[in-house]
Chain A
């Protein structure tokens, strides 16, 4: 397998993990919205309510930064990263 193919395999792996986390917090948990709302979540809000107005949103922000860092590492590993420091 060429270097480029390996790089793409790893990138695809990262994509799958990212999309799996995304799926859980954008779709998965809301399948159980009614049940989860019985539980008290962070700061005392009902749990499902909290996820819709803060939890999922915050997790998405963190997820994107985490994804960007991981992808940069993969690019560096194969020598595909760009020069420049921005």
Chain B
């Protein structure tokens, strides 16, 4: 069926794959008509997609360092864009984002702006230059540009802190979905999730992860968009929701004015199960101060440009030119999902709160709501809760509580879509969480195996030995992440945002100034990474333990403080110590020119 080189046949391969997946959805919906139970459908969706990823992971196995670390540097721009989008969009984006917008409205949408705007910084400040450098990992760039094992090691430390914070949340998300879809306890489901993740990356490294991420992107985008369009059409809100929901948005504002945001007493809130929230903020009105919005967006943008698992995706393109274009494609593919999340939040909210819709529950009697099938299901799953605080027998806006995940997971069911859609959404969430977890675990394992083991401990190690070390680390880090995830310490979204703040505290300025400021030297970079990370972490601890913070910097935006310290210390220390030598200066000059051989390849 397919002749010739795999890379040349990519559109065909993934075309067939997409067709096959759509056919699978149709088969499942026929199965549902013929009486397949919801549980079987859920298991089929998750098992089928994970099996496909595992096969791709196996077919991508490799024994070459270049293929293992940077997928042989031959990933075409558009496909790298898809892989980056899957790498980027985590379980949090897929499952939690629409929920966040549902509850918090405008203030939360700073994350949408931040998580997309950051790509402008990636494209213009960093990605093409790091690609020209020809490094395998982000610390590889720091270590070569500034010189010395200490700078390399500091970069590995920052990378590990940021990525590890992030990865536990992703393994947690795969575990949650696996436990719901396969109906097994969470503590075991976490390890099922982990094994699925490792199947994609163990044998093929970056090459395996690249081609599974493309496959995962296709699943997750279908799983996100199909329900949004379907629900919108079913509600009669318009066949293309993105352009047609203005009436719904203003209707929500109208209803909010009518119901009002009644504040619940602390006494009453004690009854509400942990993790559930009510609607307390306006949907489309501006409800955050400019600085609260802007500081969060800024932290996320700078964090985006410093997260190594994203940056390393641009090391896999064939050229510098392709790296730049690829950033554009990445953001385009991300845009498809991010621009749909607010639409889903709008549809979900309106369908629940509008008394004139058949699905609306606000204004109905409490007993009536408690008798609804889907309410009982999601109440049992601990994601929905109602209580008659004022004792009038009717459900008010402030008496209805929901978990953030429920917006994505439950809306199809509330809108009366067939169960096959819920199975599809579970597969999409699994794909989103797995792809990000793979990218992160690989980033950490590669940095430790390449930068610490090969570059610092044993520079003479043979390729075969290096790849064994890389794979062992992959498994060890995966298990460490899963073990911490099984403890269920933090929520999914909080720890994701912290990861961005850690990354920007320690890495943003050392990376950017490495390209854009020739005078930046080793001592400056080390000071910048060390003091940035330490001061950011200290600020977080201070605010978490009751500190008041300053300048409106919260525990979600502590990276602004950390990176400011990093910038100042890096500039001051660089200027106090001697300028980098002539060879380093020449290296920076060469990085700035796209043509010619890569820096590291030349050594």
Q: Is B264's beta carbon under 8 Å from chain A?
A: no
CB-CB under 8 A for A75 and B332, given A49-B249, A54-B339: no
Q: Find out whether the CB atom of A68 lies under 8 angstroms from the CB atom of B246.
A: no
Q: Find out whether the CB atom of B339 lies under 8 angstroms from the CB atom of A80.
A: no
What does the 1/0 interface line of A32-71 toward B look like (CB < 8 Å)? 1110010000011110110011101110110111011001
Tell me, rounded to whole Å, the shortest Cβ–Cβ distance linking B534 to chain A: 27
CA distance in complex: A60, B115 (Å): 11
Please classify the interface of chain B as helix (H, G, I), strand (E, B), loop, or mixed, using the class held by over half of its residues: helix
Q: Find out whether the CB atom of A68 lies under 8 angstroms from the CB atom of B109.
A: no
Q: Find out whether the CB atom of A75 lies under 8 angstroms from the CB atom of B123.
A: no
CB-CB under 8 A for A61 and B113, given A45-B249, A46-B249: no
Contacts of A26 in B (CB 8 A): 113-114, 117, 120, 297-298, 301
Nearest A residue to B341 via CB reads: A53
CB-CB under 8 A for A86 and B319, given A43-B246, A53-B112: yes
Q: Find out whether the CB atom of B297 lies under 8 angstroms from the CB atom of A60.
A: no
Q: Find out whether the CB atom of B324 lies under 8 angstroms from the CB atom of A67.
A: yes
Q: Find out whether the CB atom of B324 lies under 8 angstroms from the CB atom of A18.
A: no
CA distance in complex: A56, B327 (Å): 16
Tell me, rounded to whole Å, the shortest Cβ–Cβ distance linking B384 to chain A: 25
Q: Find out whether the CB atom of A45 lies under 8 angstroms from the CB atom of B284.
A: yes
Contacts of A64 in B (CB 8 A): 119-120, 123-124, 324, 327-328, 331
Contacts of B435 in A (CB 8 A): none
Q: Find out whether the CB atom of B117 lies under 8 angstroms from the CB atom of A56.
A: yes
Contacts of A79 in B (CB 8 A): 595
Taking A54-B242, A56-B117 as given, write out 20 further A-B residue pairs in contact, using a Cβ cutoff of 8 Å, ordered by the A residue number: A8-B592, A18-B124, A22-B120, A26-B297, A27-B298, A30-B113, A32-B290, A33-B286, A37-B286, A43-B242, A43-B244, A44-B246, A45-B245, A48-B106, A54-B339, A61-B328, A67-B123, A75-B595, A82-B321, A82-B594
Tell me, rounded to whole Å, the shortest Cβ–Cβ distance linking B281 to chain A: 13
CA distance in complex: A14, B269 (Å): 53
207-248 of chain B: CB within 8 A of chain A: 242-247
Q: How many residues of B contact A (CB 8 A)?
A: 57
Q: Find out whether the CB atom of A80 lies under 8 angstroms from the CB atom of B593.
A: yes
Q: Find out whether the CB atom of B124 lies under 8 angstroms from the CB atom of A67.
A: yes
Contacts of A34 in B (CB 8 A): 286
Q: Is B539's beta carbon under 8 Å from chain A?
A: no
Contacts of A68 in B (CB 8 A): 123, 321, 324-325, 327-328
Tell me, rounded to whole Å, the shortest Cβ–Cβ distance linking A83 to chain B: 8
Q: Find out whether the CB atom of B77 lies under 8 angstroms from the CB atom of A86.
A: yes
Q: Is B293's beta carbon under 8 Å from chain A?
A: yes
Tell me, rounded to whole Å, the shortest Cβ–Cβ distance linking A42 to chain B: 8
1-36 of chain A: CB within 8 A of chain B: 4, 7-8, 11, 15, 18-19, 22, 25-27, 30-34
Contacts of B285 in A (CB 8 A): 37, 46
CA distance in complex: A45, B322 (Å): 36
Please tell me the size bucket of the interface on A: 35 or more
Contacts of A11 in B (CB 8 A): 592
Tell me, rounded to whole Å, the shortest Cβ–Cβ distance linking A47 to chain B: 10
Q: Is B76's beta carbon under 8 Å from chain A?
A: yes
Q: Is B294's beta carbon under 8 Å from chain A?
A: yes
CB-CB under 8 A for A31 and B294, given A44-B247, A56-B117, A86-B322: yes
Q: Find out whether the CB atom of B109 lies under 8 angstroms from the CB atom of A53.
A: yes
Q: Is B134's beta carbon under 8 Å from chain A?
A: no
Q: Find out whether the CB atom of A86 lies under 8 angstroms from the CB atom of B321.
A: yes
Q: Find out whether the CB atom of B294 lies under 8 angstroms from the CB atom of A52.
A: no
Nearest B residue to A7 via CB reads: B593
Nearest A residue to B327 via CB reads: A64
Q: Is B543's beta carbon under 8 Å from chain A?
A: no
- 10 A–B pairs (Cβ distance < 8 Å), ordered by A: A4-B593, A7-B593, A26-B117, A43-B242, A43-B243, A43-B244, A48-B286, A52-B109, A52-B110, A57-B339
Contacts of A75 in B (CB 8 A): 321, 594-595
Contacts of A49 in B (CB 8 A): 106, 109, 249, 284
Q: Find out whether the CB atom of B297 lies under 8 angstroms from the CB atom of A30.
A: yes
Q: Is B38's beta carbon under 8 Å from chain A?
A: no
CA distance in complex: A10, B203 (Å): 44
Tell me, rounded to whole Å, the shortest Cβ–Cβ distance linking A80 to chain B: 5
Contacts of B559 in A (CB 8 A): none
Nearest A residue to B295 via CB reads: A27
Tell me, rounded to whole Å, the shortest Cβ–Cβ distance linking B345 to chain A: 9
CA distance in complex: A60, B116 (Å): 7
268-318 of chain B: CB within 8 A of chain A: 284-286, 288, 290, 293-294, 297-298, 301, 318
Q: Find out whether the CB atom of B119 lies under 8 angstroms from the CB atom of A82.
A: no
Q: Is B338's beta carbon under 8 Å from chain A?
A: yes
Other-chain contact of A53, B298, B342, B589, B595 (Cβ < 8 Å): B342
Q: Find out whether the CB atom of B325 lies under 8 angstroms from the CB atom of A33.
A: no
What does the 1/0 interface line of B120-138 toward A look like (CB < 8 Å)? 1101110010000000000
CA distance in complex: A72, B594 (Å): 9
